Amino acid sequence: MTTILPVSLNEVANPHAAKSDEIINMLENRINPMPDYMMEQILVGEDTVSAKEILEAKKAWWDNEGTKAYHRLLNYFKGDSLTLADEDSLNWLFAYRNTLASQYDKVNWLHAQGEYQQADSLLSSIPESFNFTPSQSAIHNDYINYYTLSEQIHSDTLGILRIDSVKVAALQAIATSNTGIPGAYARNLLIAAGKINYEEPIILPDDNLKETKKEKFRGVKESDDASILTVYPNPAHDYFEVKIKLDKFSRSALINLYDGNGKLVLSKPFNGKQDQIVFPASNLKTGFYLIVLEADGRRLDNVKIEILN
């Protein structure tokens, strides 16, 4: 039974979507392997960047530039030990940026200034302004838990110098379960309090980044040796194709198919130096067959094929 893949509007807008890993994996895992030349046709232009992908790359670049500019302004308006913070400009920047990340930045700023009530109020209102995914909801809960603990720690007269075991366990839970910003904040508090030792992980580059789908294709490959005959797919089900390569042979010849008992089952003539012949296989019984190239009363080459029906 043939599986028809649904076509989305995105696939129409971006032809490269048809060459996605999901579709290529489905083709690779077919019960009847796809001939190599068909896969090569599907993957034509795989390494070529489409117009849509160029626009997406440009948009990603400008988004990155905008993020860098935002953080430069954020650090500038926050001031330092010699320069007072420009709170009006900060509030304008947070409102203008108006992203989930910028709202968390505002919460962090208010919390750092000791404006705990405003920070908690803003933190509670964030889910009303953004549609959270399940993962974003989990991260938001970690933010709430972290800022609650941080407020308790900084309100204590000894602050970060003394954290009781209950708060340590709570911070460790956040640092362990969250690999994002709340986890990093919790881990930094534990490091500052001398409760844990931490070394940044070393991330090695992926040595498969330059591997293309053509190199990963595991379907039936045509032979590159000096054989005259090649056949694919092998095993075959509905059909198989025989490719004949005769550099110095231009006369007529026969392609004969023999069953396991040596009985002639099918025979097809061909002419020319190189040709490709399709044999039907749906009516053949399951078993091994021998494909033989014969010309001038002699056998030039042969190859075995398995039929699965």
Q: Are residues 188 and 233 in the same domain?
A: no
Q: Are residues 164 and 243 in the same domain?
A: no
Q: Are residues 164 and 66 in the same domain?
A: yes
* Residue 202 in domain: no
- How many whole angstroms separate alpha carbon 17 and alpha carbon 7? 10
* Residue 78 in domain: yes
pLDDT at 108: 93
Domain, as residue range, for 273:
229-307
pLDDT at 194: 86
Residue 259 near residue 265 (C-beta atoms within 8 A): yes
Last residue of a domain, which of 169, 192, 215? 192
Q: Which residue has the tokens 């709430």?
A: 144
Please check the confidence at residue 237 and state whether its pLDDT lies above 90: no
* Residue 200 in domain: no
Residue 240 three-state SS: strand
pLDDT at 146: 94
- How many whole angstroms separate alpha carbon 248 and alpha carbon 246? 6
* Residue 179 in domain: yes
* Residue 281 in domain: yes
Q: Are residues 170 and 257 in the same domain?
A: no
* Residue 17 in domain: no
Q: Are residues 79 and 169 in the same domain?
A: yes
- Helix 51-78 × helix 87-97 angle, to 10°: 160
Average pLDDT of the residues of the chain:
79
Residue 254 three-state SS: strand
* Residue 201 in domain: no
pLDDT band at 157 (very low <50, low <70, confident <90, very high): low
